[in-house]
Amino acid sequence: MNDYEWVLSNAGRIWAMVGEHLLLSSGSVVMGLLISIPLGIACARWRRLYAVVLVITSAAFAIPSVAMFILLMPFSGISRTTALIPLTIYAVAFLIRNVVGGIDATAPELRHAADAIGYGRVHRIFAVDLVTAAPFIWGAVRVATVSVISMVSVVSILGMPSIGDLFVDGMRRFYATPVIAGIVLTIALAAAIDALLVIVQRVTTPWARRA
C-alpha cells in the first residue's frame, strides 16, 4: 500500500481526529477568553491582583503539559476535562496580558467623555474600555489559538484522541506517512482557523481597520 492509499483508507479515522482536535482547541480558547476578560478587567483595576495573576499564569505555563495531564488524571480520568483544564490555563496565560494591555490603552479622554455623559463604571467598561481593547484581545486570541492547536497533539500520548494519534502511530510503526499527515493537518488547521479569526476580527472591529 502506497502513502496515498493509506491516507484514503484511513480518511474517516483521520477526520474524526481532526474533529476532536478542533473541539479541544476551540473549547479551551473559548473558556480561556471567558476567564480572561473578567479577570483582566479586575486586574486592570487592582494592580496587586494583576501581579499575582501574572506569577500564577507564568508558573503554570512553565509546567509541561504532559505533567499537568498526569496530575489531573487521578481526578478526572482520561477525558476531555483532563485535556481542557491545562489547555485553558495556557490560553489564559496568552490572553490575560493583552486584555489588561488593551484596557490600559484606552485614552483618558475617552473615559472622561464617558463619565461626562453619565456612563457608570460597568457601562464604561463595556462601551469604552473593552471596545478599545478588542483589537488587542483578538490578536491574543489568534496567538493563543494557533499555540493551543499545536499543544493539543500531546493529549494522544495519554490515550485521548487528536491529530497527535497520527504521530504516535507513525512512531510506533516507524512509518513516516502518518507523521507527515499529522504535520500537514496541524498546519492546515492552524492556518484555516487563524484566517477565520482574521475575518471575524475585521468584521467586529471596523474602527481599528479604519484607524
Segment 81-116, tens digit of pLDDT: 888 999 999 999 999 999 999 888 877 787 778 778
Tell me: the pLDDT tens digits for 130-162? 888 888 899 999 999 999 998 898 888 878 889
Quote the pTM value.
0.87
Task: Give the CA-trace dihedral at 197, 202, 207, 211, to 10 degrees.
Answer: 100
Q: Which three cell numbers stand for residue 150?
A: 499545536
Reported as a pLDDT band with limits 50, 70 and 90, residue 208 is: low
Tell me: the pLDDT tens digits for 24-41? 999 999 999 999 999 999
Stretch 61-90: mean pLDDT, rounded?
A: 85
Q: Would you say 86 and 155 are in contact if contact means Cβ atoms under 8 Å apart? A: no
CA dist., res. 122 & res. 12, Å (int): 49
pLDDT on residue 209: 63
Q: Would you say 205 and 135 are in contact if contact means Cβ atoms under 8 Å apart? A: yes
Inform me whether the pLDDT recorded for 60 exceeds 80.
Answer: yes
Residue with cell 497533539: 153
| 36 contact partners, CB below 8 Å, separation of at least 6 | 91, 92, 95, 96, 99
CA dist., res. 183 & res. 15, Å (int): 14
pLDDT on residue 210: 57
CA dist 161 → 58, 71, 157 (Å): 28, 19, 9
CA dist., res. 193 & res. 10, Å (int): 24
| 147 contact partners, CB below 8 Å, separation of at least 6 | 90, 94
Its sign, for the CA torsion 148, 143, 88, 50, is: positive
Whether domain 15-210 has CATH 3.30.1060.10: the reply is no
Q: Which three cell numbers stand for residue 39?
A: 479577570
